[in-house]
Chain A
Amino acid sequence: MSLKKIRLATVWLDGCSGCHMSLLDMDEAILAVAKKAEVVYGPLVDAQEFPKAVDVTLVEGAVSSQDDLEKIRAIRQRSKLVVALGDCAVTGNVPAMRNPLLTRKMLERIYVEGVQQTPGVPHDGVPPLLRMAVPLHEVVKVDLEVPGCPPPAQSILLVLNELLEGRIPDLSSKVKFG
């Protein structure tokens, strides 16, 4: 019996890519995952556009810019299951450390006070920041949260293997905080 491959996407919003690196830290197991899943979108592939019918999307990072917000809404519409992968997606974590600050002042500190030439906050072809960086569940429905900074590779592997088999994983013994 030949099984149709699961359509898997991985997305990186406002995070550090550590969760994607932890995904790669499953080492050789990625070869087996590649047999069961087709990665149709993400930083590791030359995806053309976020596809219409994705089975599972792993999302790293908080929602921090206007682009992030539009992106996560479209992802939600086009994905059967959305997994918040890692603390930034689950709680806001490090990206949310800017939340007490006024965005304008923060940008001026970096791009006006923080330079010696051509001071000015970038505005041309770059997306505006949201007032606050927020976790995924603040803006879309999330089907599974996998905490950790980053989540251990073995937890990510468990999540993938279970989801690829059509089960929602039981993470009770695998969760790592921080």
Chain B
Amino acid sequence: MSGVWVVLEEHDGRIGRISWEALAAGHALGAQLGLPVSAIVPGANTDATAAEAATKAVDKVVRIEHPLLAVYTSDAFTLALEQFLRSVTPEYIVFPHTYQVRDYAPALAARFSRVLIGDVTALAAGPVFQRQLLQGRLVGDYRASGPGPHFLSVQSGAFRADQLPSASATIEVFTPQIEPEQMRTKPSAPFRASAQTVDLSSAPLIVSVGRGIKEADNLPLVQELAAALGAELAASRPICDNGWLPIERQIGSSGQTVAPKLYLAVGISGAIQHLVGIKGSQCIVAINKDPDAPIFEVADYGIVGDLFDVVPALTAALKAAQS
């Protein structure tokens, strides 16, 4: 029962999009290596999610089912997956690169004296796995050596989930041995910090500001630009970490995901955690002094220059165009 195994993650009873993207990556890998691709659905009640997974072209779906997997803990998930992987000895295990996977997959790989190749953005012949370095300024080609199992996790949006062929796979159940006392951490139910009063997800125009603004006192510069455009103001994480703008205006994997007509990024270098939040934008404009900033890899239009010169000029040009 070797091959490529893809771990699918459940959210509110459904398999999330990024898990289907991981399955697409698994298929690409399976095709390259001539290996069958199967899916794993861990949880306490995996009936529905396993049935959903079985509609995709996979060799089989295995439900790793146990009441102690109802709520995620690193201990229970690591233990359950470890027991299953020892029973099948796969060549590759593919995960979606979620916060949950980041919390346990490195420990799981360590139990096999392996390293997770995390946050993979592309697959090439070899297999060679590509991931970003230095917050997107460079990319690295990684290779796993020695016999499997090899572990990798796939970045959101890197593989196309909409082209997965459909089929009807068989479903099996694997019951791990987990005791309550083996779970050392006790998580609470998730909560939101405060009522979300700003919904940026439907904003048609967004001006977003990053570290390049240097100080909170310089914010009026971008506020005036946003006002001239009639746009919502948003920010990258460091701005909200510093408390210069409220966290509800934060864009990226830890904040909001947006899909405006126009996303104007001011002084944002474009770390991947930020870029995943703006992928749906119709038009991206970047203003940055660093011509090598990764934001220019996704921008439609760019101005390389000092934002303290460019932003006031742009505000003036917009006002002039309106009058």
A binds B: no
Q: Which residues of chain B have a CB within 8 Å of any CB of chain A? A: none
Q: Which residues of chain A have a CB within 8 Å of any CB of chain B? A: none
